[in-house]
Structure 1
Amino acid sequence: MSDADTKARGVKRVLRAMDTSDGAGVSLKRSIGSPQLDMLDPFLMLDSISTDNADDYIAGFPEHPHRGFETVTYMVEGAMGHKDSIGSEGVLRSGGVQWMTAGSGIIHSETPKQENGLLQGFQLWINLPAKDKMIDPRYQNIEAPDVPEIAVSDGVDLRLVAGEMFGKTGPINGISTDPVFVDVKLDAGAEISIPIPEGHAGVVYVFIGDAVIAGKDVPTHHLAVLRNGNSVTLKGGEDGGRMLVIAARPLHEQVVRYGPFVMSSKQELMQAFDDFQNGRFVRKAVS
């Protein structure tokens, strides 16, 4: 891409993540799905957990259902077990990612596999197109060594979960919203331009240190909502910074949701509750 073709994204707004809790009392910071930003098509929710106090996370997330969307769990530090109604079970460890397409329905639980130490990670909810809401569920479980690490230049280190950049392709595939998901670590003053497809909704969430995003200072636990363009310039703050760059193609479809069900009409939403209550919720998983 030549300089003439580059359309750098600016920052539309910067939001401080809201302190909240979910599951059985797990302490979280929520930046999408909050009163400040209900959703950003196709993103429905972005939660961050970062604590070394076991009381904040030990109770985990007991069994709960999902239908009509995708959940992305990215573990920065720690170990989280998962188990579900279609027979999947395992442990997500530092650097790993689980991309779960809930589709027609799944019931699962997430339980910390540690009793002390730092637990740090994210969960992102992404809407499914109306035509895909009732597809069979599937998992993409990616271990840390399978996530490409890219040392672009001195002081710039990337972990590419989804998307294509700098000659690498992330391991996540077959997602209808064509997502970009990259973990960016920058030393103080180090700078990088991250490509993002034009037209995609895009955000940057700073979770360690601080950063300058498209010329705007963004502190820890703040979300920068990006304007349109095909790239965003990131620079490490005074003490360096670490951040997620996330983008995906908007669906421009009606969203009718309540709790763990995200559908396209009130009728479909009521059907989800009826199916769940009457044992018609879970289909087989696609291997």
Structure 2
Amino acid sequence: MAIRHIKQIIQSHPSSDGDGVKIQRVHGFNNNSFSPFLMIDELKSISPDDYIGGFPPHPHRGIETLTYMLNGHFQHKDHMGNVGELRDGGAQWMSAGKGVIHSEMPMMTDGSLHGFQIWINLPAAKKMQPAQYTDFQPEMITEKVLGDNNLVRLISGDLTIQGETIKGPLQQTGVPTAIADWQAAKGKQFTSCLNPDFQAMLYVYKGAIEVEGQTVSTGQLALLDHGEGLAITSNEDSGVLLLAGIPINEPVVHYGPFVMNSMEEIEQAVQDYQQGQLV
């Protein structure tokens, strides 16, 4: 079995979004090796001043978002009437499709906030479908214990670990993905078989890991080459997001909250929003 190696490491960078929310961001809107993913935002703070303004009502078109909270709550409201509040360890998925207007408010618990929002592209054939939303509280996330202090939490898709295929609660998405969180003490290992058609990446949010002799540290994203096997060792107590999915081989044009296939489609999205016709 061909084991995946690291082909590129990208350092996250500080940024802000919404009403001044401080984040660490990695994006790859025009990086084919990122597809179908577009961006990863990490929210991590022990100070409410870093995020108290949250993300007031704003539009999206052409993407999906997956929000995953390690610590803290995250409240979602949208034009469809959906209201969801995640607890520690929960996730929520939204497909903007042809248009959604929503707000997102992070809330600290036990003195800390730590979570992620992942942007996932939609293929052209699905960019104008109706918007959808669902959330998964922590008890709904699929967990597999690999040993003492060695845990995989699967949010989306299927993953084969130690010869067993497990299924995450999120299955119906615009493009096939497998998204998981690996939490492990120093010296632990994680091996998995991935769909060879999937592109895959690893985001280290805690500690440091080793993949086939290369080290990836906190705040870094590793883009992996193709293959079926994945083998990771934790060099320290570590936390890692695994993002894998079928690449979308289509043009990407990004403007603020809109991701389409051409500038004309972006201009139409902006016009629709300004005229109250986005949703």
TM-score of Structure 1 vs Structure 2, range by shorter chain: over 0.9
Counterpart Cα distance in 2 of 1:223 and 1:84? 31
CA apart distance, 1:194: 2.4
Name the counterpart of 2:238.
241
% identity of equivalent residues: 38
1:161 correspondence with 2:155: yes
1:82–1:109 Cα contact (<8 Å) kept: yes
In structure 2, relative to structure 1, the CA distance for the partners of 1:44 and 1:107 (3 Å cut) is: same
1:32–1:38 Cα contact (<8 Å) kept: no
Name the counterpart of 2:179.
181
Name the counterpart of 1:102.
96
Task: Name structure 2 gaps, 5 residues minimum.
Answer: none
1:16–1:221 Cα contact (<8 Å) kept: yes
Name the counterpart of 1:58.
52
Counterpart Cα distance in 2 of 1:26 and 1:116? 19
Report the TM-score when normalising by structure 2: 0.94
1:38–1:44 Cα contact (<8 Å) kept: no
**Aligned to 1:278, which of 255, 275, 278?**
275
1:65–1:106 Cα contact (<8 Å) kept: yes
Local SS of the residue matching 1:167: strand
Equivalent residues, number: 275
Name the counterpart of 1:88.
82
Task: Name structure 1 gaps, 5 residues minimum.
Answer: 1-5, 283-287
CA apart distance, 1:82: 1.2
Report the TM-score when normalising by structure 1: 0.91
Local SS of the residue matching 1:269: helix
Counterpart Cα distance in 2 of 1:34 and 1:18? 15
1:218 correspondence with 2:216: yes
CA apart distance, 1:34: 8.2
Amino acid at match of 1:162: S
For the aligned residue pairs, the C-alpha RMSD in angstroms reads: 1.8
Amino acid at match of 1:178: P
1:39–1:45 Cα contact (<8 Å) kept: no
Runs of 4 or more, structure 1, over 4 Å off, are: none
1:27 correspondence with 2:22: yes
Q: Deviations over 1:8-53 (max 9, x none)?
A: 1000111221111111111111122489x69722111111111111
